[in-house]
Structure 1
């Protein structure tokens, strides 16, 4: 799964990502804030759907956990994705626009209990808000949770 987190910055088009989110890239200044993180996450959730059709053989062939392929699928072909595509791609984008991001594997709890192996990834994002230092800190971000 390491390939999910190693897409080089040069390979991810920040411009294409902003276009997909329907946001103006000039919204970011030198110090990304929690307010901007919230706007980016809300726009992501509004414009890039959770989609797991490939996992069920409906479109696109077998799922390959590769961030470059996820970027092509989501940014160029304008499809959605599932957590192991969406969150690493969003986290890589956030890093490129100035946020400090950690990727965290997680177990999903279902009515039957926790799944044995980690089946989800989410993001921990550090935000330094110069205008409102009281809200600076560590935040949870997740644009790929498909469970009800």
Structure 2
């Protein structure tokens, strides 16, 4: 398995604004270290589809070195398979034991098949779900694989993990891990995705990635989206969410009114990507969206589909 060098890891820690000496926690408190690493990562590395719109190639590589260049050197993010594949390589490079697994997004009620990626990390003999690529409903910390485990997420979201069969299973004895979320105590649980506790190899994700980045029906091909968490000044706690979806930027914090900013032009969206997410597009990248259905001002009032992984 590929691993990053010490120099590459040091640059990554700078990228996510995490003190280099924080790695000393790993031996004494590996779960605490993993939790802090995930929090810092999700606050600095956005979940986004920008390169499918603001680039001429519109092809996404899962090669670990390509991901390092994109995320660390070029200070970008990516969608689930990119950021979770990258994070898996970081964790292996730091000595963590894990497998990468496939998931089926279920929020629409019927899964289109394997279309999500997570990491299952073993710490002190216990396995945890670690996901840094599921938008605003993404679990913000490691979640133990424990049936009916409930937890508090970001901006009032609650999460739950269950080990059970799916309605699509023809053999009811089958079991998968089902992650559900809801926005308040009175709201019903909504299924987000299901994960099979089976290791997927890079070739499996290559097949999944090809469809996700090229299919005209792919949400990521159709829409510009970008999400990151907001942490408190000390970096100790995730306190909110920044969400760019099509022509709107929202900021959500628990117990506070939601703020909204409407983007009228491509120039405004390019500035918003830099201001809120640190994504700086070159003139060539900015021009690559011209003529696409996702270009602002082209079909601004058509096809307003919410991201199945976001509350928009």
Same-fold call, TM cutoff 0.5: yes
5+ residue gaps in structure 2? 136-308
Residue 138 of structure 1 corresponds to which residue in structure 2? 127
Deviates more, 1:106-115 or 1:75-84: 106-115
Alignment pair present for 1:101 and 2:90: no
> For the Cα contact (< 8 Å) 1:104–1:124, is it kept in 2?
yes
Segments ≥4 residues shifted beyond 4 Å: none
Q: Kindly indicate whether structure 1 or structure 2 has the higher relative contact order, using CA contacts under 8 Å at least 6 residues apart.
A: 1
Alignment pair present for 1:70 and 2:62: no
Q: List aligned pairs for 1:31-42, cutoff 5 A.
A: 31=27, 33-42=30-39
Alpha-carbon distance in 2 for matches of 1:59, 1:75: 18
Alpha-carbon distance in 2 for matches of 1:69, 1:11: 17
Report the structure number with the largest CA radius of gyration.
2
Residue 59 of structure 1 corresponds to which residue in structure 2? 55
Alignment pair present for 1:119 and 2:130: no
5+ residue gaps in structure 1? 1-5, 129-135
> For the Cα contact (< 8 Å) 1:11–1:68, is it kept in 2?
no
After superposition, give the CA deviation of every residue in 1:40-65 in whole Å (9 maximum; x if it has no partner). 0000110111111222x323622233
- RMSD over aligned CA atoms reads 2.1
**Higher strand proportion, which one?**
2
How many residues matched?
134
After superposition, give the CA deviation of every residue in 1:58-77 in whole Å (9 maximum; x if it has no partner). 23622233221111010000
Q: List aligned pairs for 1:75-86, cutoff 5 A.
A: 75-86=72-83
